[in-house]
Amino acid sequence: MNGLALLIVLVVSLAVTALADRFRVSSPLLLVLVGLALSYLPGIPNVPLDPDLVLFLVLPPLLYSAALESSALRLRENLNRIGQLAFGLVIFTTAVVGLVAWWVVPGLPLASALVLGAVVAPPDAVAAASIGRRLGLPRRMMTIIEGESLLNDATALTLFRVLLAVALGTGASLLEGLGEFVLAAGGGILVGAAVGWVIHRVRLRLGDSSLESAVGLVVPFAIYLLAEELHASGVLAVVIAGLYLGHKSTEGGFATRIQDQAVWKALDRLLEALVFALIGLQLPIVVAELRIPFGLVVASSLAVLAATILARFVWMFPTIYLPRLLPKVRARGPALPWQVPTVLSWAGMRGVVTLAAAFTIDPAMPGRDIVLFLAFVVTVGTLLIHGLSLPWVIRRLNVHDRGAQHDTLQEAAAKQAAAERALETLEELTGPGNHTPEHITSQLRSWAEQRSNGAWERLGRPAEEIGESPSVTFVRLRRAMLDAERTTFVRFRDMGRLEEGTMRELLRELDYEEAMLDR
């Protein structure tokens, strides 16, 4: 892909994303549909997906950003369920899809069919997570979906590399491949943990938020390359480092945290828009490589797509309910309602990792053309089938977060304890012998109390029933005052009564104060 084509795709992708946000539809789905439509317009050149672009420049930063925002503690609490999906389900899907493809596509070697299975095994949680957040899925379900997406790519890509070597005759045996898989996973964990620890210590000593953020931008690429050079899983190394650094981010400065959040959110939107648009644009390329009859293509596509979708259901329900036959498991708590595994099973949309892996397949592999096409069908098919129907399924099954009140209660209790400790610190610093003006201590007390009261007020009736709460009124009025101050600073700059640099410093102070109001 040349620079101009990439720039055009980026601009169109961001425009489509803006439209999706405006009309409250899933941007990944709309981007895929627009890409499919554009791919057959006259005069539109082919835009081939560069697998190196995705596997090095796109996948590491997306996984790293997601890991930074994930809760390492919540992932650990749900590690058993996440592991069943990220490792067990990936291997199970590889076997099921591989056997089905081997059966329905005449002449396709079993090794090549298993390569297809590994390619389509990992779901991409970007679309599912965006829908789940918008519709208020329970926090534990979101943790499982996001945790699965963080780890399943490492499993699938490592398995894919082993099976591809077997299919090409350059690998030894499946047993030795399993040993390579274990070593790659273990090496990825060690590299990620070690480099994450070093990066955290380095950033703490830099003392410059801009430089810290710059180092953070380099981290996912550096860790990925280092791990791959050591024949470890670069994807897993990036995830482990991101989880560690995200957990330890509280030890850094506030400016770094604010800056990092803004930088990574912007980069996420850019990369996600790009990759989903590229998915839709690949159809002419994969069709051009096909060398088998049309009827066989249709039949095998339907069979493999159905196998990919059903494999998730077949795995999900037994792994959740069969262990409850044991008394020790039943004693831990009530069984999950059937609606939960149904939604988790239906959140199996594939994404750009599937296509990127498929495009890296060596042309010498037997059946590469049909494997590439089937990978495209599964990617687009699951995105459209699951993505378009998942909101309906969630609403129909009435699966939503019933723990919002509990979360607010926890927030209120924590804010009250923090405010009490802050007030104690204020009294210690302004006690007898200190000459701090009373109006300053009074204002500081007011700030602490306002932050504490806000969460308690949300535990009552909805604001539309009782009118605006005091804390909401405070925030609304303070924001209006800040806007008035900004307008004045800009007017003074335009009149030549305030230097540009001085104005920017004053506006930055107002921005930080408004960030404190944004709860």
**pLDDT for res 281:** 87
**pLDDT for res 463:** 44
**pLDDT for res 238:** 94
**pLDDT for res 105:** 94
Q: ∠ CA 41-45-51 to the nearest 5 degrees? A: 120
Q: What is the Cα–Cα distance from 479 to 252, expressed in whole angstroms?
A: 27
Indicate yes or no: pTM above 0.75. Answer: yes
Q: By CB neighbour count within 10 A (0-12 exposed, 13-18 middle, 19+ buried), where does 10 fall? A: middle
**CA torsion, points 460, 465, 471, 474, in degrees to nearest 10?**
180
Q: What is the Cα–Cα distance from 377 to 501, expressed in whole angstroms?
A: 54
Q: What is the mean pLDDT of each run of 10 residues along the chain (519 residues)?
A: 77 91 83 87 78 84 88 86 92 96 94 94 76 73 85 87 82 66 88 95 89 92 94 92 91 84 89 86 85 88 96 94 85 84 90 85 90 93 89 86 60 74 82 77 77 62 54 80 90 89 86 75
**pLDDT for res 173:** 61
User: Residue 228 corresponds to which tokens in the numbers above?
Assistant: 């791959």
Which position has the token pair 């959040």? 261
DSSP strands (E only) in 117-214: none
How many beta carbons lie within 10 A of that of residue 8, not counting itself?
Answer: 14
**CA torsion, points 132, 133, 135, 137, in degrees to nearest 10?**
60
Q: What is the Cα–Cα distance from 449 to 456, expressed in whole angstroms?
A: 11
When the candidates are 1.20.1530.20, 2.120.10.30, 3.40.50.300, 1.10.569.10, the CATH number that belongs to 3-401 is 1.20.1530.20
Q: What separation, in Å, do the N-terminal and C-terminal C-alpha atoms of the chain show?
A: 42
Kindly calculate the radius of gyration of the chain based on its CA atoms and give it in whole angstroms.
Answer: 26
**pLDDT for res 44:** 75
Structural domain spans, the chain: 3-401, 405-517
Q: Which helix (H) or strand (E) holds 2?
A: none
Which position has the token pair 């490592």? 158
Phi, psi of 417, rounded to the nearest 5 degrees = -65, -40
DSSP 231: T
Distance (Å) of CA 301 to CA 109, 305, 349, 372, 500 = 17, 6, 16, 11, 61
Q: What is the Cα–Cα distance from 17 to 10, expressed in whole angstroms?
A: 10
